[in-house]
Amino acid sequence: MPETRQRPATTGRRPIEAGGGIEPHWHDRHQIVYAGRGVLSVTTDAGSWVAPGTRAIWIPAGTVHQHRAYGKTTLHTVGLRENPLALTTPSALVVSPLLRELILTYTAEEGRETAERGRLRGVLLDQLQVSPQRPTYLPAPRDVRLAAVCDLLRDDPADSRTLTELGREVGASERTLSRLCRAELGMSFPQWRTQLRLHEALVLLADGESVTRVAHRTGWASTSAFIDTFKSAFGHTPGSRRA
């Protein structure tokens, strides 16, 4: 990442235009980030997380990260001194309808902590602690051969070549690349490709693309297969996300 600087882990909300973002930075407090509108990505040296409206991203204190908005986005942030989740790495958390309303209400205005806001914050923290984690994480490889394969797929998520075929292009065997996927990405090659396609689908939907076109551009065999995979990953259909 480029040069970084410390920013305060504030509580509040701010609009970010489509394609806009926040440069690499870090906080001395923990932070919850949530896109009340649009889609937000959080990127670190280890990889990236994508946060649609059903996910919030936990960012531990001291983690260098940057944000990018897809579609007109409203960023909601909650700064925390404590670590109620006991997580030391970024993570995606499921946002229930109740937790969404708590985040939106708590970040609606900044100011001194009144008794009412203290009670609201306590309920918010309680809900965070029972929110399950869900993988919206796309890890970044270190090995140059695996990185080259991943770059090919980032350029064209619909590329349907097998790992063997992609390996020929970068000069590595399928066995070597499979081993690297497990060691560096913590998942199999098909799992990583599915995560990449889901990330790209969220971006395209935020840009206003139709569900059918998104399914085609991200490499699913059919629109129905895309809808099933998307709903399984995010808890709602891509049509509702686009709306």
Q: In CATH, what number is assigned to the domain containing residue 188?
A: 1.10.10.60
Start-to-end CA span in the chain (Å): 33
pLDDT along the chain (243 residues), means of 10: 75 92 93 93 90 90 94 93 88 93 90 84 92 84 96 96 96 97 95 95 91 96 95 86 48
List the domain range (segments joined by +) for residue 13: 5-137
Domain count of the fold of the chain: 2
Of the residues 104, 137, 170, which one is the last residue of a structural domain?
Answer: 137
Q: Is the dihedral of CA 102, 133, 154, 62 positive or negative?
A: positive
pTM: 0.84
